[in-house]
């Protein structure tokens, strides 16, 4: 039904796609996998009309098409659900669903009631409980995603592209999404599914296309392959299962948290965090698991002093009580935070790799306040070397790096501050498989050197691989503390979804 | 942008030198004007410029005078051209203009109406130009004569002190029992403003009390606001006195709007077209009218005469040159009153002042092809 | 950060050269050329008296440059300062006010006030400027106002406060209310009128600012702040203190400019001093490569932007001899738009963006053509050329409006009498023709551009 023929797309400095040929059959669920930078997003943008200037041909239902914009693609029946959701946060769900195709009544005024009714119908089909009039900003990510899908449904698209749809969903939401996908397929909708997660891919897809470095490697029938082979095709090499942590020994207690509570003004629950107690030893990786909204990021913010509300309780760093009101104090004391959402909160997009890496520790290269170029370069290059950051040079713009390398650069930034404790908030989000493995190895190495790491992640396998101990948060409370040997996905999930009246299981 | 900029620069510099080379040959003109010229050794015309203080219809009459002088005195034959340069009401504007003119060699004479009388910077620029041989006079408003008399050759304009006195006499004549007045002006620091306000005080005499002197920096909206506020703030106010030309219509507008005509006497300086019409409608009691036409005309005439070293004409304009006030040419004032109903008589005023009824004044305007003065 | 913009700085340098050449060509007095000759020919007068235009441009650049640096620093840090002009007025007025308070008789009678008074007045003014900058920073970081609003408030408020202060102080000290304070003191004025001091001051301030931004930790942090405020904060940098620094620098530099302007104009005129200057400063910064979103821009670029603007303005004054300020606004406005659009242009064209597509594009083509017609007609009646006298054989050349000349040639008018009786018709015809030609030329150019962009995007309608 869709034929992608000899498509090539060049950006200044990099070829994103090189002579890609692909066929997608009508009604199938076709998965597209590949590392970051393999070209999946670019290909999907071409298909959905976001990129209009490329070489090659698109053939839709036997006719060559040329999209001048997303409108043309929509009219041809193609919609895309981006990984970064494309909703207008200030508008309601119904308004978003009908954005650009608002219905009016006879007088030409907006017909909100009809739109809301239609929206309600669509959302019901998707098992979504929200009120169609609710402002999108207040919705959970899972619900926001369903609003996007509802939008695609209202367009009656025959072809739906889903880009990493489950990256921000809870388990139950993922299950719901699978059901929705099932229903879409019953209606004959063709789905292009982009994902890193091979278990999903192998669960849902009929055929799998692997992209690597802008080229199509192979299209496989799902029944005729296995995850290992696919991973191999994606990275071009074998990824051995990394079993880290056996030779790590935890040292002295470097961070202790007593009765930490963070108020939540204006919310029913009243607290983002309630009575959290734990310890972190030097040389160990402590993982924090929990559903979205459980308070993981907030906990890290409290430790780093960047929380908008002041927490109560005690935090002791190396035995001394600390009271950070600004990230600068935390940095000086030896705590670093690698934030989630590096694009918004971490990167200086207009600066070079060097400038990004040296940002926190610039004074080390600047006696008397004047930056010495050579010292700065040495600092940056030392990090690039140590962390094996793949870059065209420290002078390259930081946006030319892949996601994984950007993350490494930011970690390098904090390593230069010689921290005692490193906080990592979902560090492997949007990072491809190969780079993930490198990051794991890096964290392991840092711990061997004595650094204490607190790690947040939504990917349970990751936590199980990396962490010496795992804390589980549920709605702001610490519901479980599991050692490496005790932890299983099942137990973590149970602790993460426990309700207040249930007792926490004994570790 | 793949062009190598650095390679272009020497080419460009060569171009500049070549272009300049064209200009050094005085026999040809710049490439853009196709026809050739056969000028004298120092090609091109010379310019005489009159710089105003700001923009107002007052200067329209001056411009007519300037253009008439240009024609009648046949400036073109002497290779001269005259033009009016409207300033933006700021002293900085005049400083910038004078500096810009200092760089241009084709300017031989400048007449300027300084925005602020005691501004040292303007006086210094004027002196600077005089040192370079440019002829400088002041028109309409002079520099502070105590300090900067030497910055200009002569002053052509109204004896503003006398004019103010006549205006004061108008106020007195309309209300012999005395009263209270407010003066409205543009820049309170301009010499003509200072002189006129002082003259009004003298002419009106001890029976009148000056309540306020309100400046509006030539902003017509503020001019109206000032009148409005004066009426509100001073219940004992009897007379509204306009000092600069556009203050007249400003006063009348507010008086009309508030319908308080019978409460106030309105005496003004200058006769803008609008003010003339308003006197015809009965809203203005008396006008002291300057002669901006003559300022423009005589200004050009004097500068031309000085340039051509025409001693006869210079002496005709400034007969007492060298003595006391001999560097001042008085362009004269008129007092204009409505055709009927005015208690003012010609005898009340100085003999040099011309006393006219409105219709006669209108005849005079028509003779000179003016709409205002 | 600073590296990618070398290109646009070279471009600006070239643009300045182009403007100078254009002025040299179009100015039939060849003033630039003459000054160049005078400079090299030697002579008795000091060299700077031989190039008055050059000195003018340099001085104006120094004055504008001083506070344009402040504007650039604030823009690079991600904010904006609309109050520069009012701070100039306020600080100039405050300086004069202090001098009146300290030496009322001397100021009134135009006798020298003495160096200590001057120094004290200037010092107090700078302290007050620091407080103004602090106030801005407080409004923005603590109260949380957007910078646009906070500096807009001071834009309006400070000038009014200055006027009130001047009137009250002059009433108290001199017994008569005055809306301005005249500055006679020659020592104070020397600061501004000497050729060297403003330029030297400007160079020192520019070099210091450049070093600060490009070589110090604080400078790097300012760029980071402008580029991504959240990330900067989360990197453990005190963003509030950085903003305080930026706004204080801007206020201080505006104050320095204000003090100089009062000396230059020999008076503090709070109503009119510096009106609109903030926009010149921002325009210079933007033309010089600063992005209003923050994080991008350099001091050398800003300086080139200032020099460019002043060269354009001087060129306009040379070419349009009288009434130049009537056209100045239009020309400077278009120049700024073109300069910034050009920097966007290379970005946009790479992405395949079309400037004249769709119905808005067609309307814009029409718009620009009409502008061309208007400009052509205006030019026709205001630009004069020297031509052979068309009415009398062998008579010396005369000056004539371009429109008149065209009309006379087209209608074959051969005598002055005929011309005078049909003056309006002849001039109008010339205008129409000229307007039509310029409009057609603009339309042609724009149409060609449109076709070129269309071809690049090779759009084929969907089947």
Q: Which residues contact C364 (CB under 8 A, 6 or more apart)?
A: C355, C356, C446
Please determine, for residue C301, whether its predicted confidence score (pLDDT) is greater than 90: yes
Residues A100, A20 share a domain: yes
Domains of chain C: total: 2
Residues C245, C196 share a domain: yes
Say yes or no: C459 contacts chain A, CB-CB below 8 A: yes
CB contacts of B103 in chain C (<8 Å) are 31, 35, 52-53, 56
Tell me, what's the pLDDT at B154?
Answer: 93
Tell me, what's the pLDDT at C462?
Answer: 34
Residues C309, C203 share a domain: yes
Please determine, for residue C451, whether its predicted confidence score (pLDDT) is greater than 90: no
Tell me, what's the pLDDT at B38?
Answer: 32
Residues A89, A114 share a domain: yes
Residues C385, C339 share a domain: no
Q: Which residues contact A449 (CB under 8 A, 6 or more apart)?
A: none
Residues A213, A68 share a domain: yes
CB contacts of B90 in chain C (<8 Å) are 269, 272
Residues C337, C431 share a domain: no
Domain boundary among C331, C350, C369: C350
Residues C127, C34 share a domain: yes
Q: A163 with A192: CB under 8 angstroms?
A: no
Q: In this structure, what DSSP letter does residue C143 have?
A: I
B120·C26 Cβ contact <8 A: no
Of residues B119, B129, B111, B123, the one with CA closest to residue B149: B123
Superfamily of domain B46-157+293-330: Response regulator (3.40.50.2300)
Residues C386, C342 share a domain: no
Say yes or no: C456 contacts chain B, CB-CB below 8 A: no
Tell me, what's the pLDDT at C226?
Answer: 94
Task: Indicate the residue of C10, C52, C179 with minimum beta-carbon distance to B102.
Answer: C52
The arithmetic mean of pLDDT across residues C259-287, rounded, is 91
* Containing structural domain, residue A196: 2-235
Tell me, what's the pLDDT at A168?
Answer: 65
Q: Please check whether residue A480 lies inside any domain of the structure.
A: yes
d(CA C14, CA C234): 41
- The pLDDT tens digits of the residues spanning B312-348 come to 999 998 888 888 788 889 898 999 999 988 888 888 8
Residues C28, C84 share a domain: yes
Counting one residue from B and one from C, how many pairs have CB atoms under 8 Å apart?
Answer: 156
* Containing structural domain, residue C411: 358-457
Q: Please check whether residue A187 lies inside any domain of the structure.
A: yes
CA–CA min distance B119, chain C (Å)? 6
d(CA A417, CA A335): 9
> Digits of tens for pLDDT over chain A (507 positions)?
788 888 888 876 567 788 889 888 888 999 998 766 677 878 888 888 888 888 888 888 888 888 888 888 888 888 888 777 778 888 888 888 888 778 887 887 888 888 888 889 888 888 888 888 888 888 877 788 888 888 888 888 889 998 878 766 777 778 888 988 898 888 888 999 988 777 888 889 999 998 887 888 888 898 888 877 887 777 665 455 555 656 677 888 999 999 999 998 766 667 889 999 999 999 999 999 887 677 888 999 999 999 988 999 999 999 899 999 999 999 999 999 999 888 888 899 989 999 999 999 998 888 888 899 999 999 999 999 988 888 888 899 998 888 888 899 999 999 999 999 999 998 887 777 778 888 888 888 888 888 999 999 877 778 888 899 999 988 788 988 998 888 887 788 778 766 544 444 444
Residues A345, A224 share a domain: no
C264·B121 Cβ contact <8 A: yes
C233·A349 Cβ contact <8 A: no
Please determine, for residue B196, whether its predicted confidence score (pLDDT) is greater than 80: yes
CB contacts of C349 in chain A (<8 Å) are none
Domains of chain A: total: 3
Q: Please check whether residue C414 lies inside any domain of the structure.
A: yes
Say yes or no: C321 contacts chain B, CB-CB below 8 A: yes
C14·B5 Cβ contact <8 A: yes
Burial class (CB in 10 A: 0-12, 13-18, 19+), C213: buried
Of residues B204, B79, B77, B69, the one with CA closest to residue B139: B69
Domain boundary among C350, C371, C398: C350
Of residues B6, B302, B332, B340, the one with CA closest to residue B154: B302
Q: Please check whether residue A152 lies inside any domain of the structure.
A: yes
Tell me, what's the pLDDT at C457?
Answer: 67
Residues C314, C409 share a domain: no
Q: Which residues contact A404 (CB under 8 A, 6 or more apart)?
A: A36, A431, A432, A434, A435, A436, A438, A439
* Interface with A, mutate which of C5, C228, C236, C245 (most A CBs under 10 A): C236
**pTM beyond 0.80:** no
Here the CATH number for the domain that contains residue C101 is 1.10.3470
Q: C303 with C206: CB under 8 angstroms?
A: yes
Residues A304, A346 share a domain: no
Here the CATH number for the domain that contains residue A224 is 3.40.50.300
Residues C371, C328 share a domain: no
Domain boundary among C288, C322, C350: C350
CA–CA min distance C334, chain A (Å)? 28
Domain boundary among A395, A418, A441: A418
Q: Please check whether residue C385 lies inside any domain of the structure.
A: yes
Give DSSP secondary structure letters for A268-284. SS-EEEEEEEEEEETT-
Would you say domain B160-289+333-367 falls under CATH 3.40.640.10? Answer: no
Say yes or no: C433 contacts chain B, CB-CB below 8 A: no
CB contacts of C216 in chain A (<8 Å) are 366, 369-371
- The pLDDT tens digits of the residues spanning B99-146 come to 999 988 889 999 999 998 889 999 999 999 999 999 999 999 899 888
B198 token code pair: 């002082």
Residues A177, A152 share a domain: yes
Say yes or no: C394 contacts chain A, CB-CB below 8 A: no
C234·A355 Cβ contact <8 A: no
Of residues B227, B336, B213, the one with CA closest to residue B272: B336
CB contacts of C230 in chain A (<8 Å) are 344-345
For chain B, give every domain's residue range: 46-157+293-330, 160-289+333-367
Q: Please check whether residue C429 lies inside any domain of the structure.
A: yes
- Mean pLDDT across chain C, nearest whole number? 87
Domain boundary among A235, A261, A279: A235
d(CA C446, CA C463): 29
Say yes or no: C58 contacts chain B, CB-CB below 8 A: no
Which value, to the nearest 10 degrees, does the dihedral of the CA atoms of residues A465, A470, A473, A474 take?
70
User: Neighbours of B (≥3 Cβ pairs closer than 8 A)?
Assistant: C
- The pLDDT tens digits of the residues spanning C111-162 come to 888 899 999 999 999 999 999 999 999 999 999 999 999 999 999 999 999 9
Q: Please check whether residue C118 lies inside any domain of the structure.
A: yes
Of residues A140, A84, A94, the one with CA closest to residue A115: A94
Residues A102, A208 share a domain: yes
- The pLDDT tens digits of the residues spanning C213-272 come to 999 999 999 999 999 999 999 999 999 999 999 999 999 999 999 999 999 988 899 988
Residues C374, C295 share a domain: no
Tell me, what's the pLDDT at A471?
Answer: 93
- The strand pair at B286-289 and B334-337 is best described as antiparallel
Q: Please check whether residue A444 lies inside any domain of the structure.
A: no
First CA to last CA across chain B, in angstroms?
59
Residues C390, C290 share a domain: no
Q: Please check whether residue A132 lies inside any domain of the structure.
A: yes
Q: Please check whether residue C462 lies inside any domain of the structure.
A: no
Say yes or no: C34 contacts chain B, CB-CB below 8 A: yes
Minimum CA–CA partner of C111 in chain B: B147
Helices C217-227 and C196-215: angle between axes, nearest 10 degrees:
70
Query: Cα dihedral sign for A399, A405, A409, A411?
Result: positive
Residues C390, C270 share a domain: no
d(CA A231, CA A198): 8
CB contacts of A341 in chain C (<8 Å) are none
Q: Which residues contact A113 (CB under 8 A, 6 or more apart)?
A: none
Q: Please check whether residue C463 lies inside any domain of the structure.
A: no
């Amino acid at each position: 039904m869709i034929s992608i023929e000899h498509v090539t797309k060049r950006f200044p400095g990099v070829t994103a796609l090189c002579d890609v040929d692909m066929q997608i059959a009508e009604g199938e669920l076709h998965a597209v996998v590949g590392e970051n930078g393999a070209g999946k997003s670019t290909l999907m943008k071409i298909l959905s009309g976001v990129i209009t200037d490329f070489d090659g041909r698109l053939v839709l239902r036997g006719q060559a098409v040329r999209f001048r914009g997303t409108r043309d693609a929509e009219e041809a029946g193609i919609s895309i659900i981006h990984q970064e959701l494309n909703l207008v946060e200030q508008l309601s769900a119904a308004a978003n669903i009908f954005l650009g195709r608002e219905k009016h009544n006879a007088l030409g005024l907006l017909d909100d009631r009809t739109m809301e009714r239609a929206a309600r119908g669509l959302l019901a089909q998707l098992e979504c409980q929200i009120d169609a009039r609710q402002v999108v900003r207040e919705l959970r990510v899972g619900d926001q995603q369903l609003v996007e899908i509802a939008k695609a449904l209202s367009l009656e698209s025959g072809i739906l592209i889903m880009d990493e749809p489950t990256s921000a969903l809870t388990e139950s939401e993922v299950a719901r999404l699978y059901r929705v996908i099932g229903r879409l397929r019953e209606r004959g909708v063709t789905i292009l599914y982009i994902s890193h997660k091979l278990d999903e891919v192998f669960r849902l897809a009929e055929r799998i296309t692997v992209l690597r470095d802008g080229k199509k490697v192979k299209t496989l029938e799902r029944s005729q392959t296995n995850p290992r082979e696919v991973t191999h095709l994606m990275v071009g090499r074998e990824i051995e299962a990394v079993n880290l942590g056996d030779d790590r020994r935890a040292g002295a207690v470097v961070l202790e948290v007593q009765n930490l509570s963070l108020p939540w003004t204006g919310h029913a629950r009243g607290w983002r965090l309630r009575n959290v107690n734990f310890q972190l030893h030097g040389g160990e990786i402590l993982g924090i698991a929990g559903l979205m909204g459980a308070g993981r990021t907030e906990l890290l913010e409290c430790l780093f002093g960047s929380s908008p509300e002041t927490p109560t309780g005690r935090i002791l760093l190396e035995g001394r009580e600390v009271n950070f009101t600004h990230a600068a104090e935390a940095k000086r004391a030896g705590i670093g935070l690698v934030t989630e959402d590096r694009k918004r909160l971490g990167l200086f997009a207009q600066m070079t790799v060097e400038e990004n890496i040296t940002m926190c520790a610039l004074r080390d290269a600047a006696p008397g306040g004047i930056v010495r170029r050579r010292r700065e370069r040495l600092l940056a290059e030392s990090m690039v070397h140590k962390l094996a950051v793949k870059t065209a040079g420290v002078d390259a713009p930081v946006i030319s790096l892949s996601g994984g390398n950007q993350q490494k650069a930011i970690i390098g930034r904090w390593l230069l501050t010689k921290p005692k404790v490193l906080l990592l908030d979902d560090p492997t989000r949007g990072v491809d498989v190969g780079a993930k493995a490198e990051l794991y190895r890096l964290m392991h190495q840092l711990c061997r050197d004595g650094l204490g790491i607190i790690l947040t992640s939504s990917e349970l396998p990751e936590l199980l691989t990396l962490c010496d101990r795992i804390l589980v948060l549920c709605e702001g409370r610490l519901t479980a503390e599991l050692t490496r040997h005790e932890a299983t996905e099942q137990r973590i999930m149970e602790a993460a979804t426990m309700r207040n009246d249930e007792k926490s299981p004994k570790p | 942008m793949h062009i190598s900029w650095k390679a272009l620069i020497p080419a460009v510099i060569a171009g500049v030198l070549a272009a300049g080379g064209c200009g050094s040959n005085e026999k040809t003109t710049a490439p853009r004007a196709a026809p050739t010229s056969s000028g004298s050794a120092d090609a091109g015309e010379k310019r005489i410029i009159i710089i105003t203080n700001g923009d107002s219809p007052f200067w329209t009459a001056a411009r007519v005078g300037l253009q008439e002088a240009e024609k009648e005195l046949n400036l073109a034959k002497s290779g001269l051209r005259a033009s009016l340069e409207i300033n933006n009401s700021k002293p900085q504007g005049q400083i910038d203009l004078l500096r810009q003119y200092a760089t241009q060699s084709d300017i031989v004479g400048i007449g300027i109406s300084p925005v602020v009388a005691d501004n040292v910077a303007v006086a210094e620029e004027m002196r600077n130009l005089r040192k370079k041989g440019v002829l400088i006079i002041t028109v309409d408003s002079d520099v502070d004569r105590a300090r900067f008399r030497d910055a200009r050759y002569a002053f052509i304009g109204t004896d503003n002190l006398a004019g103010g006195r006549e205006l004061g006499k108008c106020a007195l004549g309309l209300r012999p029992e005395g009263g209270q007045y407010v003066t409205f002006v543009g820049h309170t620091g301009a010499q003509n403003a200072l002189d006129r306000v002082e003259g009004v005080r003298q002419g009106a005499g001890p029976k009148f009390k000056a309540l306020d002197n309100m400046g509006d920096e030539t902003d017509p909206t503020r001019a109206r606001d000032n009148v409005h506020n004066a009426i509100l703030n001073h219940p004992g106010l009897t007379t509204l006195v306009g000092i600069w030309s556009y203050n007249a219509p400003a006063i009348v507008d507010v008086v009309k709007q508030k319908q308080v005509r019978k409460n106030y006497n309105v005496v003004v300086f200058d006769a803008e077209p609008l003010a003339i019409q308003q006197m015809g409608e009965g809203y203005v009691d008396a006008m002291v009218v300057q002669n901006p036409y003559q300022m423009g005309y005589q200004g050009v005439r004097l500068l031309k005469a000085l340039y051509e070293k025409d001693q006869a004409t210079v002496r005709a304009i400034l007969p007492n040159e060298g003595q006391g006030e001999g560097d001042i040419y008085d362009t004269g004032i008129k007092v204009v009153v409505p055709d009927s109903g005015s208690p003012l008589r010609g005898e009340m005023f100085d003999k040099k002042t011309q006393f006219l009824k409105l219709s006669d004044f209108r005849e005079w305007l028509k003779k000179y092809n003016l709409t205002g003065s | 950060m600073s590296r990618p913009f070398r290109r646009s700085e070279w471009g600006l340098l070239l643009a300045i050269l182009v403007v100078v050449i254009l002025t040299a060509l179009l100015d039939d007095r060849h003033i630039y050329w003459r000054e160049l000759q005078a400079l090299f020919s030697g002579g008795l007068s000091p060299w700077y008296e031989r190039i008055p235009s050059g000195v003018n441009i340099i001085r104006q650049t120094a004055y504008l440059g001083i506070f344009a640096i402040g504007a650039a620093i604030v823009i690079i840090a991600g904010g904006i300062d609309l109050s520069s002009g009012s701070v100039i007025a306020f600080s100039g007025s405050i300086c004069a006010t202090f001098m009146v308070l300290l030496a009322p008789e001397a100021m009134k009678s135009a006798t020298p006030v003495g160096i200590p008074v001057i120094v004290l007045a200037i010092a107090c003014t700078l302290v007050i400027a620091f407080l103004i900058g602090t106030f801005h920073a407080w409004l923005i970081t603590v109260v949380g106002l957007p910078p646009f609003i906070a500096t807009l408030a001071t834009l309006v408020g400070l000038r009014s406060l200055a006027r009130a202060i001047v009137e009250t102080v002059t009433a108290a000290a001199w017994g008569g209310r005055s809306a301005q304070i005249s500055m006679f003191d020659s020592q104070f004025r020397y600061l501004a009128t000497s050729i060297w001091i403003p330029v030297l001051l400007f160079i020192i301030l520019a070099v210091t600012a450049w070093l600060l931004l490009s070589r110090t930790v604080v400078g790097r942090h300012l760029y980071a702040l402008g580029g991504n405020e959240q990330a900067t904060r989360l990197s453990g940098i005190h963003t509030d203190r950085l903003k305080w620094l930026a706004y204080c620098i801007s206020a201080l530099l505006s104050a320095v400019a204000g003090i100089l302007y009062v000396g230059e104009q020999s008076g503090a005129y709070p109503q009119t001093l510096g009106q609109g200057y903030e926009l010149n400063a921002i325009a210079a910064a933007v033309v010089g490569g600063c992005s209003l979103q923050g994080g991008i821009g350099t001091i050398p670029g800003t300086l080139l932007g200032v020099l460019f603007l002043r060269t354009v303005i001087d060129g306009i004054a040379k070419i349009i001899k009288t009434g130049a300020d009537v056209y100045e606004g239009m020309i400077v406005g278009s120049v700024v738009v073109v300069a910034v659009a050009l920097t966007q242009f290379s970005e946009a064209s790479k992405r395949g963006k079309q400037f004249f597509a769709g119905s808005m594009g067609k309307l814009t083509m029409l718009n620009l053509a009409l502008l061309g017609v208007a400009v052509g007609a205006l030019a026709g009646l205001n630009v004069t050329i020297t031509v052979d006298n068309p009415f009398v054989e062998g008579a010396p050349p005369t000056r004539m409006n371009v429109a008149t000349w065209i009309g006379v040639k087209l209608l074959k008018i051969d005598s002055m009498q005929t011309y005078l009786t049909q003056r309006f018709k002849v001039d109008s015809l010339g205008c129409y023709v000229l307007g039509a030609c310029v409009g057609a030329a603009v339309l042609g150019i724009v149409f060609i551009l449109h076709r070129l962009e269309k071809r690049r995007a090779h759009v084929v309608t969907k089947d």
